[in-house]
Amino acid sequence: MATTVKPTAAAVPKPRGIGKYLVWSIDHKVIGIQYIVVSFFFFLVGGLLAELIRIELLTPAASLMVDGGAYNTLFTMHGTIMIFLFVVPMLAGFGNYLVPLMLGQKDMAFPWLNALAFWMLPPAGLVMLAGWLVGPAQAGWTSYFPLSGPQFSPFDGQTLWAISLHLIGASSILGAVNFIVTILNMRPAGMSMWQMPLFVWSIFATSIIILVATPFLAGGLTLMLFDRLAGTSFFSPATGGDPLLWQNVFWFYSHPAVYIMVLPAMGILSDVLSVHARKPVFGYRFIALSSLAIGFLGCIVWGHHMFTSLASWARIPFMLTTMLIAVPTGVKMFSWIGTLWGGKIRFTSAMLFSLGFLSMFVLGGITGVFLASIPVDIHLHDTYFVVAHFHFVLFGGSVLAIFGGIYHWFPKMTGRMLNEGLGKIHFALTYVGFFLTFFPMHFLGLEGMPRRIYTYDPKYEALNVLSTIGALIMAVAVVPFLVNVAVSLVAGKPAGNNPWRALSLEWMTSSPPPELNFDEPPIPASDPYGYGTPEGAAYLASGGKVALPTSGHGHGHGDQPIERPATGD
């Protein structure tokens, strides 16, 4: 019998160019970009829905929408898509691309699992969008029972909504396990936990939250599917269920989800501010620890979403924990200003978006304290004040940081710089449009305008017009960004290894990095934020070949310079 030759891995041709992003790949860089591109597509979808919402709200009477149901679908899908198919996977994409590079590794701990986690996302997105074919979900992104139950939402879109979130949740849990294992076990020699870039810290804290909270979403969705498909009544009061059970389970996940969306954005911010202000991060340990503190507190504040439905006494502990969360958040804000203070600030697009985050997120944080106070929240709950608050957190925070991150790391991912002129136009339009859209909503809420309505009392009209104008400016703002990306991909200025002269390891290799990231095992700088120190300057001058221990400040370890061992082992 003739023996057959087994095909080896090398015998299978690897797709090149764009092709490699369209197929199964276990390269974390490919997966990172797959996440980023897919979630950006959903940003455009969610944004389109937001524009339709704002156009409908231009006048107090119904104009665009045929009925309340169509409008309810708009904001249900807008919220769900922006949270679950844009912000969460976008930040997972940054994490996938950057964490192994920042740790000087070839890949994540479990590359195959990583690919599996990503490939659950496109089907989840398609299932979500398929809702429109069968009668889309219209019970809000919170999908409170009994409105989302089989009696009041007979359309199959609500079932598809739950299935889609189930897939995204599972994907998110797989990703979190991978990050935790990678960060705890795969740091290079010479990098303790306290020498990791703060972005890695933020992904670490986020992954812990995901691992603790997301199973509750999965449990809740499973019960929802049973109620909808199998005739059970976990949440239906008519047959002995309890609608508040859904609220508790849902918010036990969905409040921490806010931090899943904000902590990595804060990690991006810490890195970008330090690099572009040429100054060490101020209070590194406070920032790192505050991520963990926010993660912990974030899991015990969910009841503040239920200040008008929980029993009176049960609201009080949630007020206290919610108030407390302002403290670690404040620590971060002040530390970032401390980072700017005394720096040599470069107004790159990445920096402008990060400064935009700083100046806008603070408002979202402050209004969060108002909403933590039960008597004030009773008036403001489910009004436009809340809409303003969480958009200052999630757009003023997460989205601005995401854009900052794209301008900062695009050169590493593609080998080409983005155009700074277009970047600044993009920033200016986004910043102005954002503020104009969401700032007036505070006053609408204080006046008592409820959320989720498509016709409203004419006394609210003037501020709604302002808000819609702002939304249209934001829509225009996307154009220079898309043009910038398209043009820069083919004709952008070559980036070189380290265009920002940054100290963290992802810059100590070519742009884009080779398939296994580093030609030789890299040596981390003893302080990833050692700007202005002789050690940092020497490290940069050597192109990442020699790392000296830092003098003082308690970040460095060891007395001897760490040099790369002779290669060839």
Q: Residues 271 to 330: which contact other proteins by CB under 8 A?
A: 277-286, 308-309, 312, 315-316, 319-320, 323-324, 326-327, 330
For the bound state, the minimum distance from the C-beta of residue 313 to other proteins, rounded and expressed in Å, comes to: 10
Asked if 244 interacts with other proteins (CB under 8 A), we say yes
Structure letter (DSSP) for residue 209: H
CA dihedral 400, 143, 469, 467 (to 10 degrees): -90
- Candidate ranges 1-9, 41-49, 143-151, 183-191; the one touching other proteins (CB under 8 A): 143-151
- How far is Cα 272 from Cα 266, in angstroms, rounded to an integer? 10
Residues between 43 and 62 with contacts to other proteins, criterion CB under 8 A: 62
Residues between 513 and 532 with contacts to other proteins, criterion CB under 8 A: 529-532
How many chain residues bind other proteins (CB under 8 A)? 98
Between 379 and 564, CB nearer to other proteins? 379
* Six token digits for residue 512: 């884009």
Between 60 and 219, CB nearer to other proteins? 60
- Quick one: which of 15, 154, 494, 561 contacts other proteins (CB under 8 A)? 154
Residues between 5 and 44 with contacts to other proteins, criterion CB under 8 A: none
Asked if 343 interacts with other proteins (CB under 8 A), we say yes
For the bound state, the minimum distance from the C-beta of residue 319 to other proteins, rounded and expressed in Å, comes to: 6
Give, rounded to a whole angstrom, the gap between the first and last alpha carbons of the chain: 41
Residue among 223, 196, 401 at smallest CA distance from 281: 196
Residues between 414 and 443 with contacts to other proteins, criterion CB under 8 A: 443
For the bound state, the minimum distance from the C-beta of residue 336 to other proteins, rounded and expressed in Å, comes to: 9
SS3 383: strand
Element at 403 (helix H, strand E):
helix 400-414
Between 375 and 558, CB nearer to other proteins? 375
- Quick one: which of 111, 123, 215, 450 contacts other proteins (CB under 8 A)? 450
Asked if 192 interacts with other proteins (CB under 8 A), we say no
Phi-psi region of 448 (alpha: psi -120 to 50; beta: other; left: phi over 0): left
Residue 221 identity (one-letter amino acid): L
Residues between 352 and 391 with contacts to other proteins, criterion CB under 8 A: 355, 358-359, 362-363, 366, 369-370, 372-376, 378-379, 381-383
- Quick one: which of 314, 457, 541, 561 contacts other proteins (CB under 8 A)? 457
Asked if 335 interacts with other proteins (CB under 8 A), we say yes
Element at 546 (helix H, strand E):
strand 546-547
Residues between 162 and 181 with contacts to other proteins, criterion CB under 8 A: none
Asked if 132 interacts with other proteins (CB under 8 A), we say no
Give how far Cα 347 sits from Cα of 136, 342, 354, Å.
Answer: 44, 15, 10
Q: Tell me, rounded to whole angstroms, the distance of Cα 141 from its chain centroid.
A: 17
* Strand pairing category for 562-563 and 546-547: antiparallel
Q: With beta carbons less than 8 A apart as the criterion, state whether 327 and 266 touch.
A: no
Between 218 and 366, CB nearer to other proteins? 366
420 Cβ neighbours under 8 A, 6+ residues apart: 348, 349
Q: With beta carbons less than 8 A apart as the criterion, state whether 547 and 524 touch.
A: yes
For the bound state, the minimum distance from the C-beta of residue 461 to other proteins, rounded and expressed in Å, comes to: 14
Asked if 243 interacts with other proteins (CB under 8 A), we say yes
For the bound state, the minimum distance from the C-beta of residue 334 to other proteins, rounded and expressed in Å, comes to: 4
- How far is Cα 165 from Cα 217, in angstroms, rounded to an integer? 9
Any idea what the Cα angle at residue 362 is, between residues 356 and 141, rounded to 5°?
A: 90
For the bound state, the minimum distance from the C-beta of residue 202 to other proteins, rounded and expressed in Å, comes to: 18
Between 331 and 487, CB nearer to other proteins? 331
Any idea what the Cα angle at residue 374 is, between residues 372 and 376, rounded to 5°?
A: 85
For the bound state, the minimum distance from the C-beta of residue 149 to other proteins, rounded and expressed in Å, comes to: 9
